[in-house]
């Protein structure tokens, strides 16, 4: 998720300094605005990529190491877990709890009253604390499904629940849904049911009243499949809320230049990220279309962050062809909350 404060427009000022990278194609910085230089970018087979050559080569090396299993081996030796997203497990408990509450409030606002309802969280990441907050808010039961074995159920997870008990009112307490046994936190599956696996394959054991995903949709292999699977899991009139981060990730994670990753051709993108958890580069209008084709009605669109117009105008000529065909209004969306409702049947056609 981008670090720009939600509800504001990203400050996208070009960098004031640049390091010249010359790969033989004449990559000198190009002036924009008031003679401010933008970062040098290599030209590969006629394609201008807005990322320095050293960063490109580093990303390729990391990806190929991952492909060969070398990265996984080192990661596991160091005690790491396969995961996507940002790691909050080593942050201070109060900061972690504040982060959880921020996500919960965003989703709760879109979902509405959850008293007596059954909910589903897709891709909880390190913890199931947001789902726990929904139990405190009155939900009858919560399901969580995470692709990676990244949810840490241990003493710290219990302390996180207990911290949330002090910050968030509710009749449910940590001890009602979880118990520490031999250093492992055991969840009461009748209240908080966690599954490791692909939701699109496993689904959930019963229909749910609402579902949500925070910074997940931009990582899934096929958003159309995700929307169809969620539509099938929801009861009639059930809602599905997505907070989507449409900015660059990994080597392209630059809050001042959030769309540079759209300049990368597919063949190079594959070399850099084929075995790395990163953005799928699906744009806002495509998510809307996938939701509608799955059968959802768009209940609310809340764009939290937009790209600066000057920056977008400057970077657009370097986008690969399919992104150049999109409207500025579509490309400018950097962070959004998309609330959809299962109101009908899936449409015929493909997303």
Max CA distance (Å), the chain: 66
**Does residue 209 carry a pLDDT above 90?**
yes
Return phi, psi of residue 250, to 5°: 55, -125
Tokens of 226: 């995700």
Instruction: Give the three-class secondary structure for 335.
Output: strand
Euclidean distance between CA atoms 88 and 99, whole angstroms: 9
- Over residues 93-139, the pLDDT tens digits come to 999 999 999 999 999 999 999 999 999 999 999 999 999 999 999 99
What is the DSSP secondary-structure string of 240-286? EEEEEE-S--GGG--TTSTTGGGGS-HHHHHHHHTTS-------HHH
Assigned domain for 254 exists: yes
Assigned domain for 24 exists: no
Assigned domain for 152 exists: yes
Q: Which residue has the higher pLDDT, 49 or 71?
A: 49
Assigned domain for 142 exists: yes
CA distances from 228 to 279, 343, 350 (A): 20, 13, 11
pLDDT bracket for residue 343 (50, 70, 90): confident
Instruction: Give the three-class secondary structure for 62.
Output: helix
Euclidean distance between CA atoms 213 and 337, whole angstroms: 10
Residue 69's pLDDT is what? Answer: 84
Domain count, the chain: 1
Beta strands in 118-265 (DSSP E): 118-122, 141-146, 178-181, 184-187, 192-196, 208-214, 234-245
Assigned domain for 175 exists: yes
**Pairing relation of β-strands 36-37 and 31-32?**
antiparallel
Residue 17's pLDDT is what? Answer: 29
Domain boundaries, position 153: 31-342
Assigned domain for 3 exists: no
- Over residues 229-280, the pLDDT tens digits come to 999 999 999 999 999 999 999 999 999 999 999 999 999 999 999 999 899 9
Residue with token string 């394609």: 47
**Does residue 35 carry a pLDDT above 70?**
no
Q: Which residue has the higher pLDDT, 144 or 43?
A: 144
Assigned domain for 156 exists: yes
pLDDT bracket for residue 42 (50, 70, 90): low
Read off the pLDDT of each residue in 35-42 and give the average, rounded to a whole number. 41
**Does residue 11 carry a pLDDT above 90?**
no
**Pairing relation of β-strands 36-37 and 333-342?**
unpaired
Assigned domain for 312 exists: yes
Q: How far is CA 284 from the centre of its chain?
A: 13
Tokens of 214: 């925070």
Instruction: Give the three-class secondary structure for 23.
Output: coil
Euclidean distance between CA atoms 272 and 66, whole angstroms: 10
Considering the entire predicted model, what is its pTM? Answer: 0.83
Helix axes 93-111, 129-136, angle to 10 degrees: 60
Read off the pLDDT of each residue in 193-210 and give the average, rounded to a whole number. 96
Percentage of the chain modeled with pLDDT above 90: 75
Q: What is the CATH number of the domain that holds 106?
A: 3.40.50.150
């Amino acid at each position: 998720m981008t670090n720009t404060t939600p509800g504001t427009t990203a400050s996208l000022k070009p960098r004031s300094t640049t390091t010249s990278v010359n790969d033989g194609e004449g990559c000198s910085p190009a002036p924009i605005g008031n003679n401010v230089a933008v970062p040098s970018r290599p030209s590969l087979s006629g394609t201008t990529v807005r990322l320095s050559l050293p960063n490109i080569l580093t990303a390729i090396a990391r990806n190929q190491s991952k492909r060969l299993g070398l990265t996984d081996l080192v990661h596991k030796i160091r005690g790491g877990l396969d995961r996507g997203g940002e790691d909050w497990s080593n942050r201070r408990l109060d900061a972690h709890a504040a982060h959880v509450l921020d996500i919960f409030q965003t989703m709760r606002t879109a979902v509405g009253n959850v008293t007596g309802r059954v909910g589903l969280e897709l891709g909880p990441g390190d913890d199931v604390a947001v789902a726990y907050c929904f139990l405190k808010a009155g939900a009858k039961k919560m399901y969580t499904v995470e692709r990676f074995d990244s949810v840490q159920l241990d003493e710290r997870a219990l302390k996180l629940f207990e911290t949330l008990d002090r910050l968030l009112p509710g009749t449910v307490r940590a001890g009602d849904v979880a118990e520490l046994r031999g250093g492992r936190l055991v969840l009461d599956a009748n209240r908080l049911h966690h599954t490791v696996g692909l939701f699109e394959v496993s689904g959930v054991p019963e229909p749910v009243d609402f579902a949500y995903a925070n910074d997940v949709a931009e990582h899934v292999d096929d958003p159309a499949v995700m929307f169809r699977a969620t539509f099938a899991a929801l009861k009639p009139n059930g809602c599905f809320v997505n907070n989507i981060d449409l900015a660059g990730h990994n080597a392209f994670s630059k809050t001042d230049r959030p769309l540079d990753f759209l300049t990368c051709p597919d063949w190079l993108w594959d070399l850099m990220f084929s075995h790395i958890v990163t953005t799928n580069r699906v744009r806002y209008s495509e998510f809307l279309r996938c939701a509608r084709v799955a059968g959802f009605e768009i209940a609310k669109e809340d764009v939290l962050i937009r790209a600066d117009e000057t920056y977008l105008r400057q970077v657009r000529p370097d986008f690969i062809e399919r992104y150049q065909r999109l409207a500025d209004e579509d490309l400018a969306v950097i962070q959004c909350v998309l609330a959809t409702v299962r109101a009908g049947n899936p449409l015929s056609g493909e997303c």
